[in-house]
Amino acid sequence: MVHIWKIVTGTLLFILLFYGSLALVPKRPITYMDDDTLRVYALSHGLGPIPKSTEGMLKLTDNPKNPVTAKKVALGQALFFDPILSSDRTVSCASCHKLDEGGDDNLPAAVGVGGAVNPHHLNSPTVLNAALAKRLFWDGRAPDVETQAQGPIQAPFEMHMTPQEAVKRIAANSDYRKRFKEVFDDNVTFTHITEAIGAYERTLLTRSAYDRFLEGDNDAMSVKAKRGLNLFIQKGCKGCHTGISLGGQSLQQFPLRRTLSDLFRTAPFPFPNPGGFLGKEGMKKFRVPILRNITRTAPYFHNGVVKDLREVVRIMSTYQIGETFNEKQIDEVIAFFKSLEGEIVPYRLPQKEAK
């Protein structure tokens, strides 16, 4: 018995010493770059501005298998806002993706027909800039916006339609029937429905002060926001929140690190997990959220249980970086996030039809 007690005591002492030693590891120093150096550094490390021109947008988001054209986008926009694609005609894509509110619904968990709540208590990601992502849904199972659009229409707790029912309902509408013939030179199909919606979503890119700074306007971002961008880059946040979209490119483990306070915590995350969702294949791997317009998309994380963006920064710095940001650093990161608040670019689309 004494021998077992010595083993337990020794193990606990080792754990305490190990986690205590982590606090002694020197923090990575920050070099606050001047504006031009910061810009060059950001651009050379995969960050970049949303294009202003239609040509730039198409180069960035167009899908060769589903070319973007003016009529297809107009058709997709109509379908995006039309509750005709839900079983009780009360829910549209726009119900969970409000374009004037950050591209999400600002609810902890998505709500579908009849008030049904997502059984995994999953938060609706933003649709804005989603076409830039390589991974969609929280488990990253969809590779593009066209594939993603198929899910909510069919989910029983969202729009609750079968592909056959959706086609039948759309084809019964003479205006839609005519427009599908014009755009696709074909009858209504479920694939064409989601291709039209996807084409529209490919145009939902937003530009902000951050984009203007990357294009050379040193006054576009505040000094505090630029300090936040310095932190974001040099502390390693950009390693996951990468690309023009600042996220959506990969699946990542969360939480990546543990703290001394987690030693006796059995919960999978440093916050409650209603719905029990554990990411892809239950491995706590999640699609990295897009940070553009993040200040408008509360509540946060996959289950929407964290309302305060400051708390999100604190959690992410602790559990992903291994260095809890202080209040000043959090202020600076939030200022950077505010520079990502953008408006949808009114691109003028080509009139050429896809056949």
CB 275 within 8 A of CB 118: yes
Cβ atoms of residues 266 and 225 within 8 Å: no
Which residue among the candidates 158, 195, 201, 332 is catalytic per the annotation? 158
Calpha distance 307→295 (Å, rounded): 11
**215: annotated active-site residue:** no
**Nearest-angstrom CA–CA distance, 129 and 187:** 30
Expressed in percent and rounded to 5, the helix, strand and coil fractions of the chain are 45, 5, 50
Residue 196: closest CA among 207, 210, 181, 211: 181
Distance between CA atoms of residues 237 and 35, nearest Å: 19
Residues found in the chain: 355
Strand partners, 287: 251
Alpha carbon 236 to its chain's center: 18
- Residue 288, judged by CB atoms within 10 A of its CB (0-12, 13-18, 19+), counts as buried
Q: Mind telling me the catalytic residues? A: 158
